[in-house]
Chains A and B, each alone.
Chain A
Amino acid sequence: MIAETTAALPDNTGYVAAAYLVFLALVLVYLVVMAIRFARLERDIVELDELASKGSAPAGE
């Protein structure tokens, strides 16, 4: 349907696809950055867990 309607109009499919891809890429990059930050946070939590275990371990161990 789109192809039929646009037959008489200039073909700008590339530009439209590029605009939507830019939007998707932007969201994707943001999510990847957030995933990296969450991975770092996870490492921090593991470290915290180790610190807490050391703190609660009986003296002399």
Chain B
Amino acid sequence: MYGKGLRPLAIVTCVVLTGAFALAFFYAPMDADQGLMQKIFYVHVPMAIVSLLGFVLGAVFAIQHLRTGDRRHDLRSYVAIHLSLILGVGVLVTGSIWARAAWGHWFVWDEPTLVSFLIVFLLYCCYQPLRFAIEDPDRQARYASVFAITAGAFVPLNFLAVRLAQQYAHPRVLGSSDALPPKMRLAFLVSLLGMALLYTTLYRFEMTAKNTRLRVHSLKRRLGGDVVLGRSAAPR
């Protein structure tokens, strides 16, 4: 079911992402202050937005899991958070590279945007150890859902707190209409769409893999074979 339409989605994702980066380099004008370095913006910011939205999505699935008791929602929540964490690594690394190029430091510890993202990231780094420290599958799913909801609620609160902060060196992108010239805005929006498509593709790819794996193990059990669950075991 999850694998259906995955190939066209993957092709569209590749086309949109390639188009987005082409727009960023050949269509969007060069930034007057930062020059070429500002092009990092088109990969770093969309990745950060999609990563944070993924965490919120994980919380939404967790709520559904607690409401219905359906383990499929728990699996969805797990995959959403897992992918957001991977993108989070990308956000921190590309952000550090940009910070080094722009400010001369890999990380600025008194910058609310940077520190708050790091806190959110580290918070979610606890998700998997917490999850796999619990052996009972039902308890594991329940505790993980509670964690996902609590941490997910922290994401928008964190966003608001950062926006209310007075002092910052990190530029503002959302909510300031004059922040980007039209050509840059178009390149940014296409990049954001590409990143969202990448997240969707990887999400469906991962769900397909996990569901197929679960079905294979279920079949193996029914046929009397030994089932060995690997390290990458999905929520069981």
On A, residues with C-beta under 8 Å from B are 1-2, 5-6, 9-13, 15-16, 18-20, 22-23, 26-27, 30, 33-34, 37-38, 40-41, 44-45, 47-48, 51-52, 55
The answer to whether A2 and B30 have CB atoms under 8 Å apart is yes
The answer to whether B40 and A19 have CB atoms under 8 Å apart is yes
With A6-B30, A23-B90, A27-B198 already in contact, the answer to whether A47 and B220 are too (CB < 8 A) is: yes
With A6-B30, A23-B94 already in contact, the answer to whether A34 and B206 are too (CB < 8 A) is: yes
- Residues 142 to 195 of chain B near chain A (Cβ within 8 Å): none
Sample 21 A-B pairs with CB under 8 A, ordered by A number: A6-B35, A9-B30, A9-B35, A12-B37, A15-B37, A15-B97, A15-B101, A16-B40, A19-B40, A19-B44, A19-B93, A20-B40, A22-B94, A23-B90, A26-B87, A33-B232, A41-B216, A47-B220, A48-B219, A48-B225, A51-B224
Contacts of A19 in B (CB 8 A): 40, 43-44, 93-94, 97-98
Interface of A is mostly: helix
Annotate B194-236 by CB proximity to A: 1 below 8 A, 0 otherwise: 0000100010011001001100110110011100001010000
Contacts of A27 in B (CB 8 A): 198
Name 17 extra pairs, CB < 8 A, besides A15-B97, A23-B47, A41-B209. A2-B36, A5-B30, A9-B30, A9-B35, A10-B35, A11-B36, A12-B35, A12-B37, A19-B93, A19-B97, A20-B43, A37-B232, A41-B212, A41-B213, A41-B216, A44-B217, A55-B224
The answer to whether B223 and A48 have CB atoms under 8 Å apart is yes
With A6-B35, A15-B100 already in contact, the answer to whether A52 and B223 are too (CB < 8 A) is: yes
Can you name the residue of chain B whose Cβ is closest to the Cβ of A52? B223
In the bound complex, CA of A41 to CA of B232 (Å)? 12
The answer to the question of B68 belonging to the interface, with a C-beta cut-off of 8 Å to chain A, is: no
Interface of B is mostly: helix
